[in-house]
Amino acid sequence: MQTKNKLETSHQLSIITVNLNNKEGLSKTLASIANQSCQDFEYIVIDGSSTDGSVALIQDTSFIDRWISEKDTGVYDAMNKGIALATGSYLLFLNSGDQLFDHTVIENAMPKLTGEAIIYGNLQQAWTDTYRIHYFPEKLTFGHFLNQTIGHLSTFIRSDLFEKYGLYETEYKIVADWAFFTKVIVKENVSVKYIPDVVGTFDMNGMSSDPVNFEQINRERRQFLRKHFGRFLDDYEQHENTLQILKRIQSSKGFRWLKALGVKKFQ
């Protein structure tokens, strides 16, 4: 482990960046960190033994508090290494290529880290030349997590959750962050707070957004749901299918015609 901050102090917030051979993306992430108006946080970089110049970039960055560069078994193994090094009460994962939305994000977020287990905001999705703000619901339900999640780069996670409920499960290669959120929020019912801020800009060119990986993503999600919610999942999916059928009926021309005629039974 390399450290540039020799003082072993605890922080309210630790920001963790995972990188593997993505020097260009890492440069954007580092610039985003350097640009923050509030620098009162710990910054950790976990590199997977990159060979593209990323390590030299890390070595030349003065504000990184701790970093390692070594082989890992995947992105979630690397994120778990970051958790082990972090001293913050809250953790925020901002992986290479991701950026904080603007220079005031951390300054605005700090007063809102008020003890809840999960504090989440919104994020901006970034393609090559297109941007879109994605807003998450203020109330999180099982239905939301059935096919969606909250953003790892827009969610402040109280660090003791990993001690109590375990680290990211590396058996899931793409959805371990979704699995963790689903487990602690839905199954364990930890405290949650929504903040209306846009926290980060998510690089949509990553593995979780690649259509090539969608089949594996669905397979891993169903594997997790069967493991933790097996007796509930079949009934819920049947309920959702019934709702979809009802929506199709309500949007049909025949239904709209009956409604226009004032047939109250169909309204």
DSSP structure string for 53-97? SHHHHHHT-TT--EEEE---SSHHHHHHHHHHH--EEEEEE--TT
CA distance 184 to 243: 27
What are the φ and ψ backbone dihedral angles of 125, each rounded to 5 degrees? -90, 135
**Per-residue model confidence (pLDDT) at position 105:** 98
CA distance 3 to 185: 34
**Per-residue model confidence (pLDDT) at position 231:** 79
- Please, what is the average pLDDT of the chain? 89
CA distance 156 to 13: 8
CA distance 95 to 26: 8
What are 14's two structure tokens? Answer: 């630790």
Other beta carbons less than 10 A from residue 180's beta carbon:
25
Q: For the segment 132-158, what is each residue's pLDDT rounded down to a tens digit?
A: 999 999 999 988 998 899 999 999 999
Q: For the segment 206-255, what is each residue's pLDDT rounded down to a tens digit?
A: 655 566 778 999 899 989 988 988 877 777 677 677 877 877 787 776 66
**Per-residue model confidence (pLDDT) at position 5:** 46
Task: Specify the residue for token string 């239905």.
Answer: 143
**Per-residue model confidence (pLDDT) at position 266:** 46
CA distance 50 to 52: 6
Task: Specify the residue for token string 């209306």.
Answer: 196
3-state SS class at 137: coil
Q: For the segment 53-81, what is each residue's pLDDT rounded down to a tens digit?
A: 999 999 999 999 999 999 999 999 999 99
- Residue 174 is given by DSSP the state S
CA distance 262 to 267: 8
pTM for this structure? 0.86
- Residue 141 is given by DSSP the state -
**Per-residue model confidence (pLDDT) at position 213:** 77
Mean pLDDT to the nearest integer, 85-111: 97
**Per-residue model confidence (pLDDT) at position 264:** 52
Higher pLDDT, 217 or 83: 83
* Exposure string over 44-73, b if 16+ CB within 10 A, otherwise e: bbbbbebeeebbebbeebeebbbbbbeebe
Higher pLDDT, 264 or 106: 106
**Per-residue model confidence (pLDDT) at position 204:** 79
Mean pLDDT to the nearest integer, 183-200: 97
CA distance 193 to 124: 19
Statement: residue 84 has pLDDT above 50: yes
Statement: residue 44 has pLDDT above 50: yes
